[in-house]
Amino acid sequence: MSDLIRVHEPKIVAVANQKGGVGKTTTTINLAAALSELGWKILIIDLDPQGNASTGLGIDIEARENTTYELILDDAMLQDVILPTEFENISIVPSTVDLSSADIELIANEKRSFLLHDALRQPAMEQYAFDFVLIDCPPSLNLLTVNAMVAAHSVLVPLQTEFFALEGLSQLMLTIREVRQSANSKLRIEGVVLTMFDARNNLSQQVEADARENLGDIVFRTRIPRNVRVSEAPSYAMPVLEFDSQSKGALAYRELAKEFLMNNEMTKG
Ligand code: ADP
Ligand code: MG
């Protein structure tokens, strides 16, 4: 890439599903890690008051002085909230439990749905030259998630391959449609990624078949297998790609990154 002055607008992707425990945070961290390995520059926005993405990337609580809360509700400057991580090419705006009151505080704000959108479009954004912003959404369709969808170019939906997985998706799709109609007409669906897939389990196969039949092309070909290394990595504050680089989970997230880049017609160089 040249050093010429360039207008650098990152692609913003909201990782969303109102169900908890489906792999949003895991996908955010490991897709970021896989993209960063390929040389892309990533900013993660931790939009979940649980702060799992922050913890999973080794950001100590004491280091979280300025967080997503300040970014959204206190007009904080990007420079004051973006932290580097130990991982090359990955930065983060961390969150803490303080963010749990944001949903209610937002209601009284006239620009309640647009605050994250505006925050991510501060002029300073260009200087960071991020290629992608991944927003790790909370497990709910609240105003924080709406902020993510209004700010984003697309929504990436992790779908846990288990019974009832498809239930709740219609509600998510409805919310996406509402956001398109009201605030962000260009919002796309980046894709649905099957997570915690167990090839030996008939149920996983059935859920995959149902998802592909009902959702068609938007389902990524790459499936993320259930892999214990994936679940161990956060307690070592690492993406699984660092923790166990050749584990099945790591390989799958690298595949997902390739498919994601291909869908976006993005190549390096
Ligand atoms: P969410 O952010 O949607 O709540 P998480 O990403 O935190 O979901 O995942 C929920 C739990 O499942 C976590 O304990 C995580 O480590 C585990 N997990 C996620 N993906 C996998 C996987 N592919 N294999 C095994 N465990 C996984
Ligand atoms: Mg999470």
Q: How far is the CA of 176 from the centre of ligand 1 (A)?
A: 23
Closest residue by Cα to atom 19, ligand 1, is 23
Q: Which CATH architecture has domain 11-263?
A: 3-Layer(aba) Sandwich (3.40)
Phi, psi (5° rounding) for residue 221? -65, -40
The model carries a pTM of 0.96
Q: Which ligand 1 atom lies nearest to the CA of residue 22?
A: 3
Decide the pairing of beta strands 83-84 and 42-46.
unpaired
Q: What integer pLDDT is reported at residue 269 of this predicted model? A: 56
Ligand in nearest proximity to the CA of 196? 1
DSSP assigned state of 226: P
Tokens linked to 149: 């969808």
Q: What integer pLDDT is reported at residue 1 of this predicted model? A: 47
First to last CA, the chain: 6
Phi, psi (5° rounding) for residue 218? -75, -10
Instruction: Decide whether any atom of ligand 1 lies within 6 Å of the 235 Cβ.
Output: no
Q: What integer pLDDT is reported at residue 179 of this predicted model? A: 98
Q: How far is the CA of 5 from the centre of ligand 2 (A)?
A: 36
Per-residue pLDDT of the chain (269 residues), as tens digits, is 445 554 578 999 999 999 999 999 999 999 999 999 999 999 999 999 999 999 999 999 999 999 999 999 999 999 999 999 999 999 999 999 999 999 999 999 999 999 999 999 999 999 999 999 999 999 999 999 999 999 999 999 999 998 888 888 999 999 999 999 999 999 999 999 999 999 899 999 999 999 999 999 999 999 999 999 999 999 999 999 999 999 999 999 999 999 999 999 877 65
Selection from 21, 20, 27, 2 nearest residue 220 by Cα = 27
Burial 120-134 (b: 16+ CB within 10 A, else e): beeeebeebebbbbb
Beta bridge partners of 195: 160
pLDDT in tens, 129-171: 999 999 999 999 999 999 999 999 999 999 999 888 888 899 9
Q: Which ligand 1 atom lies nearest to the CA of residue 20?
A: 4
Q: What integer pLDDT is reported at residue 231 of this predicted model? A: 98
Domain residue ranges in the chain = 11-263
Rounded to the nearest 10 degrees, how much is the dihedral formed by the CA atoms of 22, 191, 12, 141?
Answer: -50
Contact 44, 136 (CB under 8 A): yes
Cα–Cα dist 223/172, whole Å: 21
Phi, psi (5° rounding) for residue 15? -95, 105
Q: Pick from 26, 197, 198, 236 the residue to mutate for probing ligand 1's pocket: most ligand atoms within 8 Å of its CB.
A: 26
Instruction: Decide whether any atom of ligand 1 lies within 6 Å of the 156 Cβ.
Output: no
Contact 47, 138 (CB under 8 A): yes
Helical spans, DSSP H, in 59-151: 68-73, 78-81, 102-107, 115-119, 125-128, 143-151
Selection from 222, 221, 229 nearest residue 247 by Cα = 229
DSSP assigned state of 114: T
Instruction: Decide whether any atom of ligand 1 lies within 6 Å of the 54 Cβ.
Output: no
Closest residue by Cα to atom 4, ligand 1, is 21
